[in-house]
Amino acid sequence: MQQPNRVEKLVRDIGAAPTVADALPLFQRAYDIDFVTYHLALTVADVVDTPFVRTTYDPKWVSRYLLRDYVKIDPILREGLVRQMPFDWREVEIPNSAHGFLLDAHNHGIGPNGFSIPIVDKARRALFSVNSHKAADEWGVTVKQYRNEWRELAVLIHHKAIFELHGEHDPVPQLSSREIECLHWTALGKDSIDIAVMLKLSEHTTRAYIKSARHKLGGGSITFTIARAMQLRLINPFGNTPN
Amino acid sequence: MYLLVQAHEYHKHAELLDQSFRLRKRVFADQLRWDVAVSGPYERDRYDDLHPAYLIWCSDNRQILYGSVRLMPTTGPTLLYDVFRETFPNACDLVAPGIWEGTRMCIDEDAIACSFTDMRPDRAFCLLLLALCEVALDNGIDTLISNYEPHMRRFYNRAGAEFDELGRADGYGRFAVCCGAFEVSQRICNKMRLSLQIAQPLYAGRSFAAREAEVPVLLTA
């Protein structure tokens, strides 16, 4: 039981962090990562192109990156904003033109290994990246063990960034009737096995509906999701939710 | 061989992708008569402009296409949600990071008959399905949402896949089109290998780029 508790606690802590900048160090400590970066590419055309970037890299490196316009060279960012699947930095082919950049990064304390998670929502793209000084083998093991947790947390941080940018005007999310039924029964203490029987679905699909509802309500823990769904009057478990 | 082609590598596999759009036109427009967007010899829609990933099944020399399927995350715009929202709004409304949509899955029966003389089309389709399961598992996907005609259920079951049918729509093609949620897990993968009598993984997995020794393997993002 220790594993789910650890993740649930982290989801809660990161969910409760007031800003993305507060959330990144929590993530970094939890996984013994050296640096974490969240980069939201703003697709909206504006007078000034202002991507939303938060990172734990040394401010000296960040300003150098900006001054030298490395955003145009950085092969991870370039690929990360068109790829769909999470990727290990070792999968990326490095063009000759980026060698100077890599050397400079190394000289500024950037670790040799990394993993990036593209985030795609209905209108935007973002990239969540972690960087490490661990040796290749050890890094491979870490990635394998945690990449699915990282993906969940990356999306949670993405929601936080959208919230930070656009304030509290999120419309009430549209939940399907299946999602509402699943939340209703979860709120009443049923687990996915019970719910699957009642809804005549497989347990796997039942869990998919619960995951989907969690995602639509901000990607927080199940406790948060239920509380939020009740607050938004999407469910009323002690009345009679399905209408 | 099976390749996962993402947007940063489209240019490397332009010929195979071209064959894939042609195959889709033959299968979905000509044979199944689905209401899909055809331009010239290709079937391409607006979702193909959104940098989807394609699983490509091709000959080892990458000259002949045998089959393909298109993958998109449900957190972004998806065909099934947009297209079926009116006919069965609740069915394709699953949205979460580990849930992906697989559409336009098809095989080239002629090319397969030429290269694999004793392979029946239904087995070929099942092999592509297993490869899809392997690729999905390798990328942390736990559920695939897909659309299919009712008679395909038999093949899915025979291949060892497990899925829940979430809904169906009439009037899209000659037959109804169903929408299902497929479990992706190591258990399912093993079960499919057993059903199909496949001992080795079909998909070779991700590969790391070759690095010159003197180049520091350091990046940032």
Which of B8, B55, B143, B219 should we substitute to test contact with A (largest number of A Cβ atoms within 10 Å)?
B219
B36 CB near a chain A CB, below 8 Å?
no
Q: Which helix (H) or strand (E) holds B109?
A: helix B109-115
Query: Are B93 and A179 inside 8 Å of each other by CB?
Result: yes
> Within a domain: residue B219?
no
The phi, psi pair for A215, rounded to 5°, reads -60, -45
> Within a domain: residue B203?
no
Looking at residue B46, which CATH number applies to its domain?
Answer: 3.40.630.30
> Within a domain: residue B100?
yes
Query: Are A37 and B221 inside 8 Å of each other by CB?
Result: yes
> Within a domain: residue B107?
yes
Cβ pair A76, A60 in contact under 8 A: no
> Within a domain: residue B157?
yes
- What is the average pLDDT score of chain B? 90
As a whole number, mean pLDDT of residues A9-31 equals: 95
Type of residue numbered A234: L
Which chain A residue has its CA at the smallest distance from B72's CA?
Answer: A84
pLDDT tens-digit readout, A143-195: 999 999 999 999 999 999 988 887 765 667 888 889 999 999 999 999 999 99
pLDDT tens-digit readout, B93-152: 889 999 999 999 999 999 999 999 999 999 999 999 999 999 999 999 999 999 899 999
Query: Are A94 and B211 inside 8 Å of each other by CB?
Result: yes
Type of residue numbered A5: N
Per-residue confidence (pLDDT) for residue A1, from 0 to 100? 43
Q: Write down the ipTM of this complex.
A: 0.86
> Within a domain: residue B221?
no
Which chain B residue has its CA at the smallest distance from A133's CA?
Answer: B218
Grade residue A240 by pLDDT with cuts at 50, 70 and 90: low
Domain count, chain B: 1
Sort A50 into a burial class: Cβ within 10 Å, 0-12 / 13-18 / 19+: exposed
Cβ-defined contacts of B210-213 (< 8 Å, 24+): B211/A90, B211/A94
Minimum distance, in Å, between the CA of residue B216 and any CA atom of chain A: 7
Q: Show the domains of chain A with their CATH numbers.
A: 6-169 (3.30.450.80), 177-231 (1.10.10.10)
Q: What is the pTM of this model?
A: 0.88
**What b-and-e string marks burial along B33-44, b requiring 16 or more CB atoms within 10 Å of the CB?**
ebebeeeeebbb
> Within a domain: residue B206?
no
Query: Are B75 and A119 inside 8 Å of each other by CB?
Result: yes
**What b-and-e string marks burial along A167-191, b requiring 16 or more CB atoms within 10 Å of the CB?**
eeeeeebebbebbbbbbbbbbeebe
> How do B53-58 and A113-120 pair as beta strands?
unpaired
Cross-chain CB nearest to A178 (options B4, B71, B90): B90
State which residues form the domain around B158.
1-194
CA gap A230, A228 in Å, rounded: 5
> Within a domain: residue B202?
no
